[in-house]
A and B are shown apart, each in its own frame.
Chain A
Amino acid sequence: MCATCGCGPESHHHHGHDHHHASGKKIVEVEKDILHENNLLAQRNRGFFEGRNILALNLVSSPGSGKTSLLERTLTDMKGELSFAVIEGDQQTTNDADRIHATGTKVTQINTGKGCHLDAHMVLHAVQGMKLEADSVLFIENVGNLVCPAMFDLGEQERVVVISVTEGEDKPLKYPDMFHSSTLCIINKIDLLPYVRFDVEKAKQYARQVNPSLEIIELSCTSGEGMQLWYEWLKSKVLQPA
């Protein structure tokens, strides 16, 4: 029995001190957030970005919703207006990084292997090797996955979730964590609306149900429709150089 409170070795209540038990066991009070390490590193990244006035965006989506296409088009259309750099998270290939490279933009690839999401530690190392310009925009394309990346803060200022009209409009309800933690939702591939059954209003309603403050932009990377709204959003987030 514990001398302080009479608890046996099996009880686990808290007293703010370590319990020594006659049974030769002791309870260590830990009280530590499991994501503590990641969150600390994310804060470090965030400080780095803020110090250089870099707008860092974390792009998340299911596989194939159009993250790389969105970047390709943006990097081409906005060339000369803003300066950009890209971190590509991918499990295996360098295909996406090659596509970004072809636009003439600085890009670093992180291969996560079996890992299904980027974390703050990977981004920290990627950034260390990049010589990012001050007053620029850094796009971080996460691994295509609507579940796992949700929990891992990378130090980004904004999280952008992309869905496309070839997916179900109930995505926000199936993956609420991702929509809850994002600030902007892009509904992509609206050029395909005549050919698919996708209720845009319903998708928006579901997204706002999960996150009432979520901004939503509908666009098509292929036809270019709606891209202007995205560019305006982007420019509104870039801080004026001091």
Chain B
Amino acid sequence: MHELSIVMSIVQIASKEANRNGASIVDEIELDIGVLSGVEMDSFDFAWQQGVKDSVLHQAIRHVNRVPGKGRCLDCATEFPMQQLYDACPACNSQLVDILSGRELSVKTLLVPDTAS
């Protein structure tokens, strides 16, 4: 289950950033996980429970932006929504598709206690 590796990488990034901001805990975290990123959300939720224990994220509220898939046909330039990596162009049926969005996998923001205030 690679979702656990993904969660551990998120924990690592969050710890580093929290630390840099003088925080020992993260209240909220915002993630981009595109629908074509290869992350299975059920596995991800399960891995999250395991992975964030004893970390800065152990009680963080998670906001996940499921970035929709979007492709552009390399043959006829039609832009269309994608549910799968192998979706063909709906206009000309070409398989040659440039994926414009949906593969995102990133940590966007953290909400942490403000030590300056």
Contacts and interface: CB of A to CB of B under 8 A. Distances in A.
Nearest to B9: A34
A150 B112 CA distance: 33
Contacts of B17: 28, 30
Interface string B2-40: 100110011011100110010000011011000000100
A116 to B, nearest CB: 6
Nearest to A148: B2
Contacts, number: 111
Nearest to B7: A34
The range of chain A's interface size is 35 or more
Contacts of B1: 116, 148
Contacts of B84: 176
A20 B114 CA distance: 7
Contacts of B85: 176-177, 180, 210
Nearest to B21: A28
B63 A12 contact: yes
Interface string B81-112: 00011101000000110000000011111111
A9 interface: yes
Interface in A41-79: none
Contacts of A38: 9
A26 B27 CA distance: 10
Given A24-B117, A25-B27, A208 B112 contact: no
Contacts of B10: 34
Given A34-B9, A152-B2, A210-B85, A26 B112 contact: yes
Interface string A26-38: 1111111111111
A120 to B, nearest CB: 11
Given A27-B110, A32-B13, A212-B95, A115 B5 contact: yes
Interface residues of B, number: 36
B88 A209 contact: yes
Contacts of B5: 115, 117, 119, 148, 152
Interface in A111-133: 115-117, 119
Interface string A202-224: 00000011101000000000000
Interface centre among B5, B18, B27 (most CB of A within 10 A): B5
A209 B2 contact: no
Nearest to A147: B2
B38 A27 contact: no
A9 B111 contact: yes
Given A24-B113, A208-B95, A35 B9 contact: yes
Interface centre among A28, A35, A36 (most CB of B within 10 A): A28
A82 interface: no
B2 A32 contact: no
Contacts of A9: 111
A134 interface: no
6 contacts: A14-B108, A26-B112, A28-B17, A28-B18, A31-B106, A176-B86
Interface of B: 1-2, 5-6, 9-10, 12-14, 17-18, 21, 27-28, 30-31, 38, 63, 84-86, 88, 95-96, 105-114, 116-117
Given A14-B109, A26-B111, A28-B18, 10 more contacts: A12-B63, A20-B116, A22-B117, A25-B27, A25-B114, A26-B117, A30-B17, A34-B9, A117-B2, A209-B95
